[in-house]
Amino acid sequence: MIQGTAGTKFLLMLLFLVLLIVPHAPFMNSYLLYILDLIYISVLVALGLNLLAGYAGQISIGHAAFYALGAYSSAILQAQLGLPFLLTMVLAASFTAVVGYMVGLPAIRLHGLFLAMATLAFGRVVEELLVIPLLEPLTHGADGMPVPVAKLGPMVLKSDTWAFYYLCLVLATVMTWLAVNIVNSRTGRAFIALRESEIAAQTSGIDLAKYKTIAFALSAFYTGLAGALYAQAVTFIAPDGFTIFLSVKFLAVIIIGGMGSILGSVLGAITLAVLPELFAKLPGEWGAPMIFYGGALILVIMFMPQGMAGWVNALRYRLALRRLQSAPQLAPSARDAVAD
Amino acid sequence: MFLQQVVGGLATGSIYALVALGFILIFKATDVVNFAQGELMMVSTFFAKTMIDRLHPADVWMWLAVVLLTIGFAALFGVVLERLIIRPLMHAPVFSIVIATIGLSTLLIGLSGGVVWDWDTYPGKSPFSNKPVSLGGIVVTPLDMGIVGITLGLILLLTLFFKFTKLGIAMRATQQNQQTATLMGINVKGIFAGTWALSAVISGVAGFLAAPIIFIDTNMGYVVLKGFAGAVLGGWGSIPGAIVGGMALGVMENLATVYVWPQIKHMAAFLVILLVLLCKPDGLLGFTVKKV
């Protein structure tokens, strides 16, 4: 991996500035703003899932459930207790993280694919819970529930307001920065170690159960936070929006973007954000989204397993190599660093 | 009442057992949990439905023809999928193969609903009647008896196949150790394809049997989750465990509906997974497979 240079840092700053100014651009309208909000939300989910699947190596096919828990718990707290959104958002994400921790608990006994199956089962249980009559006063069952309009001081937090856009932008940026730091920390290295070989990781003193549950809780936190924001953006949530197919879409985002790559999470989220709008134009009975996402998962895994992040890394590698060739007097240690 | 529920649960339990068996066969041979197992079943069941609609089977021989056509189709389908998707990934990490099967499951639902068939729900037809008969105070339908009977027959056939045929023994050898099996002159790639075919056939039969109970639609593959729960309950990786666990789960679901809470029926399976995984991960039969 080539470390971020001054050049990339400059580019990132520039990008952030552009994103700060963009809602005030003359071509901007409320629909475009809504799409941008969804991209930031999708980045959060992708980061969460990538920390779990891409770094810690635990496949989850139940992430729609965490998303639903975030969305519902935030909306219910607002509707029932009248709490402000910034608080319910944090509470919802924390609650989802606790649930994620509990879902990760069987990890103490399980390895590999069992856990994936357990997440699938978890997803189904949450789907059923959302429509269970016992909870209907809170969730409104299969009819779905309207999400209360949130306010931050005098500003309304809706998908077409600048306030909400900046909230999403700041959260996406902070959480990306956080993810980069987690990945480069002791915890992140433990994740990667247990992904590569559980036995080898254990041999080097990594507590598998601890780090798997941490990975689940962390991933659920990201996804729950995204769910809370999503509820605000769409203003209405219903159980049929949180099916297993949504979990498959989340997986597609990180597979297409690049497993085990923060950059990949962001690229995947951006690439796939516009698709729902395209598919909405096709007749529903064609089943185009399912064919696309299913086919994409298979083809990407077969032919470009590193996803889009793989292209970027290849490009950076080639650029660095060219720079080396034009400067042959460079010390050998620098050459090794690039080839690493 | 209690016995009635137990007998009623055995029929659904048989289907879970067959589905679990399909899972376990692929898992044991290739170390892959096939997330598209339910969709293998769904596609075969749709195929059977199309055949029934075309042929209008009336007598035993026509039904037999439909069943054989479905089995042939399922086997071919399994081989084609293995050849197109799984074999190119043979040397990829298991993780990648699992992702591919998740993609495959979604793709098959999309193609079945959007291109080949449609999104409607159809009642399944069966050669067995649905009229209840009383047997010593317990009410059963010939359909339930047929499902249990065919399942037991199929399991017997499979046992004989694995014990006494050359192919069956080669499959078991491959399950134990691929390298040694290769050294013994077994065509491991062929065995993989064969395993997929066998697993698809079992799922196809399960779907064919299940259709009158659970209806035919593109979402019917979800029943596989119950099969998985059954396999976990019985002891993951063990063939007898899959059968016992599947049957037990069917019975438990029925009992829970009556004695605990009616709405728990669809959640019971998943609660069972979580409970078993937490309390007794080896399952009822306490049997774990450790591969080296």
- pLDDT confidence band for A335 (50 / 70 / 90): low
Amino acid at A66: F
- pLDDT confidence band for A254 (50 / 70 / 90): very high
Query: A133 contacts in B (CB within 8 Å)?
Result: 263
Alpha carbons A214 and A210: distance in angstroms, whole number: 6
Residue B286 has pLDDT above 70, yes or no: no
Residue B290 has pLDDT above 60, yes or no: no
Quote the Cα angle for A323-A181-A16, to 5°.
70
B286 in A contact zone (CB under 8 Å): no
- A114/B270 Cβ within 8 A: no
Alpha carbons A43 and A339: distance in angstroms, whole number: 30
Alpha carbons B256 and B258: distance in angstroms, whole number: 5
Tell me: the pLDDT tens digits for B14-26? Answer: 988 988 888 888 8
Give the model's pLDDT for residue B185.
87
The DSSP element (H or E) to which A145 belongs, if any, is strand A145-146
Interface test with A, best of B27, B87, B102 (most A CBs within 10 A): B102
CA distance A253 to chain B (A): 12
Instruction: Extract the tokens encoding B2.
Output: 């209690």
Give the model's pLDDT for residue A329.
61
- B274/A121 Cβ within 8 A: yes
Average pLDDT, chain B: 84
Task: Tell me the mean pLDDT in the region A176-196.
Answer: 92
Give the model's pLDDT for residue B225.
81
Give the model's pLDDT for residue A333.
58
- pLDDT confidence band for A184 (50 / 70 / 90): very high
Q: What is the DSSP code (8-state) at residue B116? A: I
Q: Tell me whether 0.90 is exceeded by the ipTM.
A: no
- B109/A121 Cβ within 8 A: no
Residue A72 has pLDDT above 60, yes or no: yes
Give the model's pLDDT for residue B292.
36
Interface test with B, best of A132, A297, A299, A300 (most B CBs within 10 A): A297
Nearest to A213 by CA among A65, A317, A288, A110: A110
CA distance A65 to chain B (A): 14
The DSSP element (H or E) to which B254 belongs, if any, is helix B239-259
- B95/A294 Cβ within 8 A: no
- A301/B100 Cβ within 8 A: yes
Residue B129 has pLDDT above 90, yes or no: no
Alpha carbons B76 and A139: distance in angstroms, whole number: 46
Which residues, other chains included, contact A98 with Cβ-Cβ below 8 Å and sequence gap of 6+? Answer: A217
**CA dihedral sign, ordered A173, A176, A180, A186:** positive
B135 in A contact zone (CB under 8 Å): no
User: Which candidate from A114, A255, A286 shows the least CB-CB separation from B99?
Assistant: A255
- A109/B281 Cβ within 8 A: yes
Nearest to A175 by CA among A227, A222, A232, A231: A222
Tell me: the pLDDT tens digits for A2-46? Answer: 455 677 788 888 888 888 888 887 887 888 888 899 999 999 999
Alpha carbons A148 and B212: distance in angstroms, whole number: 44
Contact criterion met (CB below 8 Å) for B228 and B34: no
- A301/B99 Cβ within 8 A: yes
Residue B220: left if φ>0, alpha if ψ -120 to 50, beta else—which one?
alpha
Alpha carbons A67 and A242: distance in angstroms, whole number: 8
Contact criterion met (CB below 8 Å) for A130 and A239: yes
User: Which candidate from B98, B115, B225 shows the least CB-CB separation from A121?
Assistant: B225
Tell me: the pLDDT tens digits for B143-158? Answer: 888 888 988 998 899 8
Residue A337 has pLDDT above 60, yes or no: no
CA distance A200 to chain B (A): 14
Residue B193 has pLDDT above 60, yes or no: yes
Tell me: the pLDDT tens digits for A271-302? Answer: 887 787 788 888 877 888 889 999 999 999 99
Tell me: the pLDDT tens digits for B54-91? Answer: 888 888 888 888 999 999 999 999 999 999 998 888 88
Strand partners, A54: none
- B98/A305 Cβ within 8 A: no
Task: Please state the separation of Cα A68 from the chain's center in Å.
Answer: 14
CA dihedral B211, B213, B216, B218 (to 10 degrees): -110
Percent of chain B with pLDDT over 70: 95
Residue B236 has pLDDT above 80, yes or no: no
CA distance A320 to chain B (A): 29
Contact criterion met (CB below 8 Å) for A247 and A64: yes
The full DSSP string for A212-251 is HHHHHHHHHHHHHHHHHHHHHHHSEE-GGGSSHHHHHHHH
Contact criterion met (CB below 8 Å) for B150 and B15: no
Tell me: the pLDDT tens digits for B37-48? Answer: 889 999 999 999
Query: Nearest chain B Cα to A259, which residue?
Result: B96
Q: What is the DSSP code (8-state) at residue A304? A: -
Residue A117 has pLDDT above 80, yes or no: no
- B106/A121 Cβ within 8 A: no
Alpha carbons B128 and A15: distance in angstroms, whole number: 67
Amino acid at A234: V
Give the model's pLDDT for residue A334.
57
Residue B122 has pLDDT above 50, yes or no: yes
The DSSP element (H or E) to which A157 belongs, if any, is strand A155-157
Strand partners, A150: A157
CA distance B33 to chain A (A): 7
Average pLDDT, chain A: 86
- Entry field: residues in chain B: 292
What Cα–Cα distance (Å) separates residue B29 from each residue in A283, B196, B198, B241? 41, 9, 11, 16
**B 208-267 residues with CB below 8 A of A?**
222, 225, 228-229, 232, 236, 263, 266-267
Q: How many CB atoms lie within 10 A of CB A298?
A: 22
Nearest to A105 by CA among A95, A113, A96, A115: A115
- A305/B85 Cβ within 8 A: no
B117 in A contact zone (CB under 8 Å): no
Query: B100 contacts in A (CB within 8 Å)?
Result: 297-298, 301-302
Give the number of A-B residue pairs with CB atoms closer than 8 Å.
129
Query: Nearest chain A Cα to B96, which residue?
Result: A301
